[in-house]
Copies of this chain bind each other. A is one copy, B any other.
């Protein structure tokens, strides 16, 4: 088993990564606060893993709620069903929530924990590759609004992240590819050697080679943990983790949440960011093409939907969380393995990228 730490002082927490961790109650139970535990899952994941998780918590006061599956349900209304479950069970401020599922379940459960009685404990048990390498680590929680993705939320750190890589056995290929988008992201923003490793191992990853997947998850979580420890609230370096996300969120918002998976939109968004970086001559065109080739090799799109217009992109991007007075900031590449957050791009080149992508 590998154990990483997200170093945040007295809110530090472990990330455990191994096969068969859903049997390891010794890892999970020390992080349970109080005796009341609500497990939040969804209708797809619960039939597969809920029973095993509940067995690990035997003897506690347990309840569970299953959300509908999909990004389109990451809403205030779904969030309210969690509050209702907590209140119907008379759960108090000393309770613990556990998110069992992918990024949607983790984000919404985390925000429920951040806001129920002004804040209770929660743990992450991610079961998709995307959640394991990205969304379960770092404390970003929230829900979508019809006018913008992840616009409502809080920073609220989990007390433990338990990554059982065996849960990937039940993940469909499309979801696996979506998770690989975030894996590629870490290579692009921070680690050229990891990017090259991914170029060599993409076929093995898509074939679900256990050793390759475990390595990719560990390296991804290591980078994420380092960045979160350095900048928990995204005042600086953490914004680099949004490579491809400004374009990607626009795609998700315009196409309707859930029609494109988040990772698919991020894949296309990263290809667009690489293209825009190359148009500025900040990276070589050949490096942008390497990025696109790896994204494509992961089974992901490298362009926005053809019907999407430049104007639609610009409207969505205007409310991006990185925007500040005076304009939009973008995460762009200086090299494979190095990214910057900048408002110093040329608008006419952005227009070219948007026109070329859609």
Contact = CB atoms under 8 A, between A and B. Distances in A.
Interface residues of A, number: 41
Given A35-B325, A118-B140, A154-B154, A319 B83 contact: no
Interface in A299-358: 318-325
A148 to B, nearest CB: 5
A221 B80 CA distance: 34
Contact of A36 (B87, B117, B153, B325): B325
Given A93-B324, A94-B325, A325-B94, A118 B155 contact: yes
B92 A323 contact: yes
Contacts of A155: 118-119
A45 to B, nearest CB: 25
A34 interface: yes
9 pairs of A and B residues whose beta carbons are closest in the complex: A87-B147, A92-B323, A90-B318, A94-B324, A117-B321, A118-B153, A35-B325, A34-B325, A90-B319
A151 to B, nearest CB: 6
A181 interface: no
Contacts of A119: 154-155
Interface string A99-143: 000000000000100111111000000000000000000001010
A114 to B, nearest CB: 7
Interface of A: 34-36, 76, 79-80, 83-84, 87-88, 90-94, 111, 114-119, 140, 142, 145-148, 151-155, 318-325
Contacts of A91: 319
B151 A92 contact: no
19 contacts: A34-B325, A36-B325, A76-B79, A83-B152, A87-B145, A87-B319, A91-B319, A92-B321, A92-B325, A93-B321, A93-B322, A93-B324, A94-B323, A115-B142, A115-B154, A116-B152, A117-B151, A119-B155, A154-B154
A169 B93 CA distance: 39
Given A117-B151, A117-B153, A118-B155, 7 more contacts: A35-B325, A90-B318, A92-B323, A92-B324, A93-B322, A93-B323, A118-B140
Contact of A142 (B84, B118, B153, B154): B118
Contacts of A76: 76, 79-80
A84 B152 CA distance: 11
A245 to B, nearest CB: 14
